[in-house]
Amino acid sequence: MPKLPECCLASEGDPLAKILYAVYNRGGDASTAGLNFQGKPCPEWTELPENVRAKWEAVAALVLDASDVWAVADLTLVESALYQLEHRGRGDTSDA
């Protein structure tokens, strides 16, 4: 397996935005890893313009927000299922 370009690599402790950028750069056809749509090399994270890094940071913020929303939704579903199990057969499924 050929060595991946630096733009495709992230390390433990890197910000989520950089990790997402690296995953994006190595995704898809392995022959295009680290290349943009024009076939040119993607810059490393530190070489990206501030505006482009800000866009990746916005994506990372959305991912974090979404994971919090899904975690809460999953917890709510679990709590609801437990409540339904506890009250099955009693004819009482209200919250009161």
- Domain regions of the chain by residue span: 6-64
**Is 23's pLDDT higher than 50?**
yes
Angle at which helices 50-87 and 16-26 cross, to 10°: 100
Q: Are 24 and 34 in contact (CB under 8 A)?
A: no
In tens, the pLDDT along 67-95 reads 776 666 666 666 666 666 666 655 554 55
Dump pLDDT digits (tens) for 35-73: 999 999 999 999 999 999 999 999 999 888 877 766 666
The band of 96, judged by pLDDT with boundaries at 50, 70 and 90, is: very low
Taking the C-alpha atoms of residue 57 and residue 3, their distance in angstroms, rounded to an integer, is 26
Tokens of 38: 């024009």
User: What's the CA gap between 91 and 19, in Å, rounded?
Assistant: 50
